[in-house]
Amino acid sequence: MKKIALLFLLITTISFAQKKKKSWSDDFVAKEKPIILFEEIKPFVTEGKYMITYAAGDFNGDKQIDAVLILGNLDEVSKYKSDEVKSKRNVLILKRNDTGKLEKILENEDIVYCYSCNSPQGSPLTSIVFKGNTFSVEHEAGKANRWTRIITFEYDREKELWWLIKDASSIYNIMNNKGVQSEVKTQDDFGFIYFEYYDAFSDDLTKQSKK
């Protein structure tokens, strides 16, 4: 009886393993969150800027750790409080070159919400999430009534280009789990938009498409 049970368990395990599809990016997702020393990031933190956050990962599959860095202006809080023009925040994609050093390959200042933009309680930026050949910039703000926005980019290894693949947003109340309003836009909606041309605050994303 025990032999029959073990045989059944073995067959079930093999069957499950065969059904599971494997993506190329599975080989490049680190088991533990990669860490890059600030000494490597520091050269990209230019005068008048500070590092808000960063995420590390191997987006091109060369077994070297790259990074996405978000910078803000040192005076962004004081400018906001004095009702001056809101300071933009920069997203930098850093790739490790053949010598093992990080170098900036792309930059965009129209992705991350500024300090207190649509968020009276402070910065709506919550995190950057790196996974395989994609990364997402995540926002959330509000108290009882909350909103979220998650913007996701993907790296095309053959073309060596970053594209926008998803722009998802939602509005909800933490006391009402049935009142969630959400919208998810994909490339079927906006076409192909290069990372460097994307503007999260444009009314019509299709105007940014680059065929």
Q: Which pLDDT tens digit goes with each residue over 147-195?
A: 999 999 999 999 999 999 999 999 999 888 777 899 999 999 999 999 9
Beta pairing class for 102-108 and 90-96: antiparallel
Beta carbons of 92 and 85 less than 8 angstroms apart: no
pLDDT beneath 50, residues of the chain = 1-30, 210-211
Residue 11 Cα distances to 7, 14, 18, angstroms: 6, 5, 11
What is the pLDDT, as a whole number, of residue 5?
39
Strand partners, 90: 71
What is the residue type of 169?
A: S
The pLDDT of residue 120 is: 78
- Distance CA(106)–CA(115), nearest Å, equals 22
